[in-house]
Structure 1
């Protein structure tokens, strides 16, 4: 449990999760897809309230990042040709390790089985430890439950020693570092069986998570549903760089759907097969990763979970982001800046800052090309869950697409003073190549000209040793037999006024659905019953992300009041304030309760007197205000330029209770 929070038992956590889930589904924030046909795991529909929350979250994301950081926004197709994802490495490496029930064939994600087992065992150890402290003399034990289809077998208690506990903690901390064989050995060592049947499990093996498809009627062009939105930005780098005045740094952003064929999505809306991503690619000179606005966030204190604390089995620590960069814990200013901006975005949404941390990837967990990676993890009833990834991906992506496409995705830097540099020249002999390879001359020439310095010098050395050399064009897979007279490769010292280089990229990548679910849990509470009023559940969304900003009620069913309420609603709509008109005739208390439950922060009640009553959701305070002023007031509250305390300082509170209002 997070710092400053009261820990809940496992039973309390599960009960809370069920209550939130039931409320979200009952009020149509989200709905299991294809429910009338039995549903399909990993797919959810967003209902009316969920759609509006997502729209508000994405609008705030655009404001916070795209507009305030002066980024370009683009939109690319969801269907991606295989060649693009082959270059990025997704075709070969975008896999998770899977195990199968040896008898039933059910599939499970191997690391999740191990994580769930270790987490449960350690939680039970802590519970029994608390029991022992409350009743001295009771041995510290852990309960291991074995389940089958029909019944729960007798509970078997095994002593969990401090040494065993430390071993489990170490395995949990290093979970992402295990190879397939290591993961399989751990599953066997802990005696983990199929959670559905108790049967033995297979050894882990890789499963590619991408959905495949064919492009066009012939089925010859292989494609995939994109597993992320980033590749669309990388392949458009040249045009975006030109539109940026051929200057670095610049950033591009994309919001859209991504698809991953999850092995066993058993964590509700936190692990789904289709989801919304919002990604930023910030292109920067690899020799200068400073950020001009870093000083604006340097004093921000954030919970960080660096590698050192993870390997030492310690907890996350609170630290100034400026100190983290200065000490080299966070690799550079630009990465630190986006970590800080991500923190500000999430807390502005309504994420509890005490249940938010940034965890650094362990050395073996990080991609081979990455400079540094941090995940924004939010604590919810499913545990600490990655919701945002902030990575310095170095120059890997642009280099990979340059090599595969034959098009240079580079930037140019002009030197202040000319420099002596070795310049590489590659000149394909197109006449000889054309005579020998005819129609393939063009693609071969372009591939030769796109070689890196290392590739070109290696080919030159090989041609000097052998009569013929086999050369493979990476974009098509074609192989050609080259001779020395087909290409001239040379280096000479020249005065250079600038250089071409491949930019590095800093990438913050946001899983919008996960953020929204954590927001639901962090904003959810049960309002205690008071005399005359029932117990109610409430979402305390900040006004900026609330699905609707205001409801408008006539105090009772009278045509004159209904007309006044409709006029008020129309005025709010014209002012750009989303609102709901409720003239159902229910009691005012029940209408307040229904709107509180979906998180609407303000309610306007019209009656026979001059002016209207404005009510605030969480305090249930009400003020009286004129018809003329109310639209501007609610608009300012909704966009955050005014808070409720400003209202109560200006207007007199109305002391009528909600139960009295119904009488």
Structure 2
């Protein structure tokens, strides 16, 4: 029997222990949708809380919660209707659809097939002799087409408004920028975060919760003045990172670059200092929540991979089963998003930049004679006036001729220059309006959960018995502690154990009480769930000369120390908050060798 892969072991444990499983199994299930069980929901929630703490609270950023459905014009403006596609190839025999670039990558050495055009992808499929994974039919000669990933819906009954489920949480932040900037007192830089669901109609969902059709994102949109704002790199400049730049990926002898954030920015490996700052923050955050840094890297997007809105992007990637999985992206979106929404919406997507001192400038202006424009152009007169004002600002030389032409709604209108009352005036200005640029760290919560479970999965032997355990960091583990009376038929032990459960829960800790089976079996169950600590209430703790004590057992090492009951909550809270380690506790209290 072939040895199970890392992913197979993880999927089996996840289902058995309540981390995640395919949704709607009672009705046959549907690919790309997963339900988080009790352990998975708790772990996921803890990851989200840890992300909020680092990227919202500690950074001083705001958080919003926007709708998951938005009207079609939002995605017209953002470019998602035209540019949010994956490559699809359909089997002529069974009708199954497959993602073309994934088929190519799975059957060749090419790692960036998504950079191919649809024509090139079709050629690669033919050259490689690829067949349908579902039925084995030849795919050569089948056309490869772009497939838009957004879920379409209708808003309201009857002649309803077309809408889409958001493919990213970012647009909910961008469309509300005119109001959000007021909460930031119109002062750059400022950041806005959002944690929530996003939806992509994936062609071929795979790898359980890695590639799904409904998923959770944690995103930060950092709005900056591109000419004035620079991040303070001092807190992250010494953070060590493993980088895989685009030029190294494209070189025949390309390799990783081991460096620090400060050096990477200074050497131009990471071109944007804001991106560099967030790479450093993310590196430390991932390490804190339990990602194995030996299986972690930042990879720069190749030119053909860049999204339509991005001028540069680095992915945080984790290794699972020998494959690198994108778990976050750090993109410099420039002013693309706000400029696009400014073109399509009736709001101001700029921020007023105050000058240090007022400036006197020459400004081209027009004051069209509406008594002439009105009778001549009718209902288009107002549009003609606005077009003339825009033209004067953009191209004053156009008014040198006797006649000036403007375009409104696809129609051209010729206006006598005398009627425009064109002039160049001196004006005193106290500032100017600037369109902020955006730096976006975007985290896949589900993929982070998958990574944490994969990197935490361990197997060893305890007391001549095989053991599986999840070495999850206390900060994100779904349960903080298990509490057991050593035996369940002694009222004193049971009563004290139940009191401890109540006290720890009151202190805000997640506690699991278990009095079933041998103490060893109870330990093993909690180890496999990933519970960092187990408290055992025994007779020795009740019969002490002074205070009542219990033992705390640490999951990974199996070491136990005897701790006063009154100190339990404070000690466990300090470990969960990363203020202390179990080694610190063990150094302070009596270690138990036979319990």
- TM-score norm. by structure 1 comes to 0.82
Counterpart for residue 557 of structure 1: 488
Q: Distance between the aligned counterparts of 1:31 and 1:427, measured in 2?
A: 67
Counterpart for residue 309 of structure 1: 248
Deviation at 1:368, TM superposition (A): 5.3
The answer to whether the aligner puts 1:283 opposite 2:214 as a matched pair is no
- Which of 570, 575, 597 is equivalent to 2:502? 570
Deviation at 1:470, TM superposition (A): 4.2
Report if the CA contact (8 A) 1:428-1:445 is conserved: no
Deviation at 1:599, TM superposition (A): 0.4
Q: Which moved more, 1:497-506 or 1:515-524?
A: 497-506
Q: Trace 1:555-634 onto structure 2 (pairs within 5 A).
A: 555-558=486-489, 559-583=491-515, 585-608=516-539, 609-610=541-542, 611-634=549-572
- Gap regions ≥5 residues in structure 2: 543-548
Counterpart for residue 258 of structure 2: 318
The answer to whether the aligner puts 1:524 opposite 2:457 as a matched pair is yes
Counterpart for residue 297 of structure 1: 236
Q: Distance between the aligned counterparts of 1:79 and 1:452, measured in 2?
A: 37
Residues 548-584 of structure 1, C-alpha deviations (whole Å, 9 max, x = no match): 101111111123322211110110011111111123x
Residues 592-611 of structure 1, C-alpha deviations (whole Å, 9 max, x = no match): 11111010001111123322
- Which of 357, 373, 384 is equivalent to 2:313? 373
- TM-score norm. by structure 2 comes to 0.91
- Which of 635, 644, 654 is equivalent to 2:592? 654
Report if the CA contact (8 A) 2:365-2:392 is conserved: no
Residues 351-376 of structure 1, C-alpha deviations (whole Å, 9 max, x = no match): 01111111111123224553321111
Q: Distance between the aligned counterparts of 2:389 and 2:576, measured in 1?
A: 54
Counterpart for residue 105 of structure 2: 115
Deviation at 1:68, TM superposition (A): 0.6
Q: Distance between the aligned counterparts of 2:228 and 2:483, measured in 1?
A: 54
* Change in 2 beyond 3 A, CA 1:490/1:591: farther
Q: Distance between the aligned counterparts of 1:566 and 1:440, measured in 2?
A: 78
- Which of 261, 267, 273 is equivalent to 2:213? 273
For these two proteins, the number of residue pairs brought into alignment is 581
Report if the CA contact (8 A) 1:430-1:445 is conserved: no
* Change in 2 beyond 3 A, CA 1:487/1:99: farther
Residues 597-644 of structure 1, C-alpha deviations (whole Å, 9 max, x = no match): 010001111123322111111111111122212222122222221100
Q: Which moved more, 1:267-276 or 1:181-190?
A: 181-190
- Which of 364, 382, 385 is equivalent to 2:304? 364
Q: Distance between the aligned counterparts of 1:367 and 1:487, measured in 2?
A: 43
- Which of 561, 569, 574 is equivalent to 1:636? 574
Q: Distance between the aligned counterparts of 1:489 and 1:567, measured in 2?
A: 84
Residues 171-222 of structure 1, C-alpha deviations (whole Å, 9 max, x = no match): 43x4232111111111211211212222232221010100000001124310
Counterpart for residue 8 of structure 1: none
Counterpart for residue 232 of structure 1: 172
* Change in 2 beyond 3 A, CA 1:653/1:215: same
Deviation at 1:271, TM superposition (A): 0.3
Counterpart for residue 546 of structure 2: none
- Which of 32, 36, 47 is equivalent to 2:26? 36
Residues 486-523 of structure 1, C-alpha deviations (whole Å, 9 max, x = no match): 97776655443321111111000011001110110000
SS of the residue corresponding to residue 364 of structure 1 reads helix
Counterpart for residue 90 of structure 1: 80
* Change in 2 beyond 3 A, CA 1:482/1:324: same
Counterpart for residue 508 of structure 1: 441
Q: CA RMSD in A?
A: 2.6
* Change in 2 beyond 3 A, CA 1:250/1:406: same
Counterpart for residue 65 of structure 2: 75
Counterpart for residue 474 of structure 2: 543
